[in-house]
Amino acid sequence: MATGVSILPAQQLAALNDAYRKAVARKRLKTMMAGAVFFGALVVAGIGAEVNLRTLFTYFGNFVSYFDRILTLDSGQRVWTDVGEWFWGWQKWLKLLAETILISYVGTLIGAVFAFALNFFTAQNTSPGPWLRFIVRRLLEFARTVPGIVFALVFVIAFGLGPMAGVLAIAVHSTGALGKLFSEIVENADMKPVEGIRSTGASWLSCMRFAVLPQVSAGYASYALLRFEINVREASVMGFVGAGGIGQELVVAIRKFYYSDVSAILVTIIVTVFVIDITTGWLRAKLFGKEARA
C-alpha cells in the first residue's frame, strides 16, 4: 500500500490538534446546551402530561389487542372472512360518507370564494390600503388559528345540529388558511404586467383580472384542491360534535365498543381519503404540470 502523506513531527501535530479541539469544543458546547434545554423541556412536559412509561408498557399490549379486537367479528371470525357481515351497514355508511365529502366540497368552495375575494386586499403588492390590509389579515389569522372543530362546536349551537354547522365551520377555517396561501401567491406574482396594463388606463379591477389572475389562477386551484383533501379528513370528525358526516357513526361505534364496525368505518374513511388524495394529486399534476405540485 502506497503512502501519500508523511506524518508531521509530534510537536507540530499537537499544536494543530489543539487548535482543532478548541474550535470544535465551542460548537459542541452549544449543541450540548441546546440538547440539555430540550431534554429539560421534555421532562417538564412529561410531568405536565402525566406521562407514565409504565402505563405505556402495560397498555401497549392493549393497543395491539385493540386492533385485534376491531378486526374480529362478533362470531369470533376475522373480519375479512365475511365481508358482507363486516360491512353490514354499508348503505348507511356510504350515504354518510357522501355527506362527508359533500360537506368538505361545499365548505372548501365557499372558503375558496371568500379567500379569493379577500386575498387581493391582504397581499402587499395589490392591497388598496394599509388599514384595510391590517384588518383583513387579522380576521384571516383568527379564522386560521382557531381549529375548525371549535367553530363547529359554536356553530352547532347557533345553527342547530346537522351538516350545516360543519360546512360553515370548514368554510370559515378554509377561508383563513387559503386566504394566507393565496395572498402569498399574489405577493410572488410579477408586477411588471400590472404596470403594463395600468399604463393603458385600466382600473384596479381590470389590473387584477388581466395582469394578476392569469399568473395566480393555477396556484389557487392547486391549493384549493389540496385544502379539499385536508377538509375531507376534517369533515370525517365533524360528526363528533354533531356537525354532520360519518363521524357520528364512528364515535358511537368506538364509545359503545362495536368493534368490527370501528374497523369497517375506518377502512371506508381511509380508502376514501386515499382515492381523493390520488385524484386531487393527479388533477393537480395534469392541470398545472409538475411545478405546481409542491
Three cell numbers written together for 259: 368493534
Which bin fits 54, alpha (ψ -120 to 50), beta or left (φ > 0)?
Answer: alpha
User: Near other proteins by CB under 8 A, which window of 79-87, 129-137, 195-203, 270-278?
Assistant: 270-278
Q: What is the helix, strand, coil percentage profile of the chain, to 5?
A: 80, 0, 20
CB of 128 to other proteins, least distance (A): 26
Would you count residue 153 as binding other proteins (CB under 8 A)?
Answer: yes
Would you count residue 176 as binding other proteins (CB under 8 A)?
Answer: no
Nearer to other proteins, 57 or 128 (CB): 57
| 245 in Cβ contact with 235 (< 8 Å) | yes
**Residues in contact with 61: Cβ distance below 8 Å, sequence separation at least 6, in sequence order:** none
Tell which one of 52, 77, 203, 206 touches other proteins (CB under 8 A).
52
CB of 52 to other proteins, least distance (A): 7
Between residue 59 and residue 118, which ones bind other proteins under the rule CB under 8 A? 59, 62-63, 66, 99, 102-103, 105-106, 109-110
Between residue 180 and residue 219, which ones bind other proteins under the rule CB under 8 A? none
Size of the site for other proteins (CB under 8 A): 76
Integer CA distances (angstroms), 286 to 104, 129, 180, 220, 289, in order:
22, 37, 25, 15, 6
Would you count residue 155 as binding other proteins (CB under 8 A)?
Answer: yes
CB of 59 to other proteins, least distance (A): 5
CB of 285 to other proteins, least distance (A): 16
Residue with cell 395491539: 64
Q: What is the DSSP string of 195-263?
A: HHHHTTT--HHHHIIIIIHHHHHHHHHHHHHHHHHHHHHHHHHHGGGTSSSTHHHHHHHHHTT-HHHHH
E strand or H helix at 26: helix 10-48
DSSP state of 201: T
Nearer to other proteins, 167 or 194 (CB): 167
Nearer to other proteins, 135 or 270 (CB): 270
Tell which one of 140, 269, 280, 284 touches other proteins (CB under 8 A).
269
The CA distance from 54 to 115, in Å, is 48
The CA distance from 113 to 99, in Å, is 21
CB of 114 to other proteins, least distance (A): 13
Nearer to other proteins, 85 or 277 (CB): 277
Would you count residue 154 as binding other proteins (CB under 8 A)?
Answer: yes
Would you count residue 250 as binding other proteins (CB under 8 A)?
Answer: yes
